[in-house]
Structure 1
Amino acid sequence: MTSESFGQVLKRYRVAAGLSQPQLARKVHADQSAMSRWENDRTTPGRETVERLDELLDAEGGLTSAAFPAPPAPLQPADQPVTCGDVEALRDTIAHLVALDGQHGGAELLPLASRTFRTASARLASGNYPASLEADFTATVAELGEVAGWLAFDAMQHDKARGLNLEALRLARLAGDVHMEMFLLGNMALLAQETGQAREALRTVELMERFPLSPRLRVMAALRRARAAADLGDERALILIQHAQSQVDESVTDTDPEWSWWVDRRELVMHEGSMWRAVGRLDKAVDRYAEALEAVPAAYRWSAYIGGSWLVAALVEARSWSEAETAANELATLAPEVSSRRATQRLREAATTAKDLRASSSLEGLLSALASS
């Protein structure tokens, strides 16, 4: 049974229960197309939906185990020295968390990531490992801290994200991992920008720019600088991000750090949409959001959900009720599968705006349902 995919396990239990796809879909308040995608392993529902399916089908946790397999145990017992195998297992845990984040978002994963990071940090501090392993172990724990900090940011636990980022930054510097240090500084600039600390974001970008940056990392720094500058009312910010877009495709090289995969034109276009929205050009914001969403890979549902929430908010503000309802319905198909507190907050604000602007009751109800999911 362990070799079966989630979709195969779901179908087996559904058939054993004598239910059709539409019948089971109704029981979990989903549509048949979502059930079909789940059984064909095109998408995976969120944890709450999977647990509900477990209960309905008497699967005794089989579906939850298939959808959310436990990551490998990262370390041997505390009284045993850390080994190369432990560090490899920790890397597997990081990869597992990153893969799940791309599908489901950070809120549900944060407790596991934080606990694993604290455990690994304590083992690092104990010094119970060979000297030859110290740099590699330190760098790996720093990377785990970066992942935990990102998940805390997505879960809107900003103070926790700051603490995790700072601790991971300290470890990255101890390990001499310059690429991870730059990654963390970029995350910290984003956190500062999204929490209304644009000047702090700019200061953090300046720390990044002290490094010899590759072309792709210069594009990332330009993105962070443009967002912060826009919040400070600098009219040159849009020129800066559009220039970065013109360079991003040619900036990719084989020597880029692995984590820089997300620095692409789609990401920059999405952020440009937010900048147009901030200056009140909702028409341009909608166009940029829609363009970016069209380029989101099918497997990266979390990004589609985040970006879709931005598009819905802009359409509501523009009083484009029909288009907003269409976009909100598309988000509703992802809602059972993705969890993002940032998207939920944005949808909650959109629901309030829709009510204030006297949108249709169907749109207002749909947004309220999404904001409470």
Structure 2
Amino acid sequence: MSEFGRMLRSLREAAGLSQPQLAKQVYISQSSLCRYEKGKQTPNSSTAVRLDELLNASGQLRILATGNSAPDVLNSDDRDRLARTIEHPHRLDERSVTALADVLAAQRRLDDALPPRLLIPATTAQLDTVTTLVRHAAGPYRAALAEVAAEYVQFAGWLHAEIRNDATALQLLTEAERAADEIDNGVLAAQAVNFKGFLARQQKRWQGVVRWFLAEHHTPGASVHQRIGAAAQAAHGAGEMGDRDGALRLLETAETLLDTSGDEPAPRTAYWLSPTFHKLNLGLAHLALKQHDVAADHISSALDSLPLDQQRADWTTEFRAALETTQKSQ
């Protein structure tokens, strides 16, 4: 079954629709819909868009069917304005900056559910456009554009980290860290360091895990939710190194911060830092400490709380593998 077919079937079932019911609404035969779900046939772009709209897939089915991940979030006026801005960067205005930020936000939301390799081509092209604009722009909105550019570099680094293109990811994340420092944005700087910690975790370099996540935790300007996640992930690294006391202290720090964070929202540029996400990382730390029951409870409840289209997303792979480990040990 193809990625498109898996998502189509999952969304159809979540909507409570049978194959005949959905096929009727899309004006196709049930046999065609069956072939789509089994991965034996790919719909044309108009059918993919119709399926996407009916199942509230936010563009995900369209992208999987067409291979075009550039989110369609701009109206014609915005596109015309951006074209003029690219041609005349010194005329940069607030609406152009907002439009570029909206495109980036849409890409990041797609990354929650789609394979990162589908997003890299469009993101790379958008990054080149934004960084070129920053170099040549002037006026009162350049600072806001520089913040968008710093986030774009960070996101590109994250996408390469996800597919384990480690050298490119590290280069981009170092650039993102430097860009965040230049605009004095502690949240973006902390997140770039966090993604370096993620890379170290994939490489099982546990000293690097502790080092990078502690650096994130202590980054000036980091949000409370970044500090919670950093402490939990540093605890995971310490546990894997056999430093049980250090891991327990870091876990206590993370849990205390989580208990006292109240209704503090996650930063806009790190919107995924929710209590559910924190439970996933706390689960990894408890697993490193051989506390299998606690780890299983954290990870399973968090995975079950994710939106349906994210529960099998690429970024959940390590958490699903960790859950399997806990279940085998019980």
Give the 3-state SS of the residue equivalent to 1:123 in structure 2: helix
Say whether residues 1:41 and 2:43 are aligned partners.
no
Say whether 1:181 aligns with 2:189.
yes
Comparing 99-108 with 246-255, which one deviates more in the overlay?
Answer: 246-255
Match for residue 203 of structure 2 among 165, 189, 195: 195
Q: Please point out which of 84, 104, 117 is paired with 1:94.
A: 104
Residue 239 (structure 2) aligns with: 230
Q: Which amino acid aligns with 1:191?
A: L
Structure 2 CA distance for partners of 1:241 and 1:295, relative to 1, 3 Å = farther
Once the two structures are TM-superposed, the CA of residue 214 in structure 1 deviates from its matched residue by 4.8
Q: Kindly state the Cα deviation for residue 120 of structure 1 after the two structures are TM-superposed.
A: 1.8
5 Å-filtered alignment, 1:1-373, equals 15-17=26-28, 19-20=29-30, 24-29=33-38, 40-43=54-57, 50-51=65-66, 69-70=71-72, 72=74, 76=84, 78-82=86-90, 83-84=92-93, 85-125=95-135, 128-208=136-216, 209-211=218-220, 213-236=222-245, 237-241=247-251, 243-253=253-263, 257-278=267-288, 282-298=292-308, 300-301=310-311, 306-307=315-316, 310-311=319-320, 314-315=323-324, 319=328
CA contact (8 A) 1:188 1:204 kept: yes
In 1: Cα distance, 2:84 partner to 2:115 partner? 28
Moved more, 154-163 or 249-258: 249-258
- What count of residue pairs does the alignment treat as equivalent? 291
| Matching residue's letter, 1:149 | G
Give the % identical residues.
20
Q: Distance in 2 between matches of 1:191 and 1:263?
A: 18
> What is the DSSP-based 3-state SS (H/G/I as helix, E as strand, rest coil) of the residue aligned with 2:220?
coil
Compute the TM-score of the two structures, normalised by the length of structure 1: 0.64
Residue type of the alignment partner of 2:284:
S
Q: Deviations over 1:1-37 (max 9, x none)?
A: xxxxx99xx96897543x12x651244317xxxx9x9
How far, CA to CA, are the matches of 1:189 and 1:178 in structure 2? 16
CA-CA distance at 1:314 after TM superposition:
4.2
Per-residue CA deviation, residues 106-131 of structure 1 (Å, 9 max, x unaligned), is: 22111211221123223323xx2224
Deviation (angstroms), 1:97: 0.3
Contact 2:154 2:192 in 1 (8 A): yes
Conserved in 1, the CA contact under 8 Å of 2:209 and 2:237? Answer: yes
TM-score, reference length from structure 2: 0.71
Is the 8 Å Cα contact of residues 270 and 288 (structure 1) preserved in structure 2?
A: yes
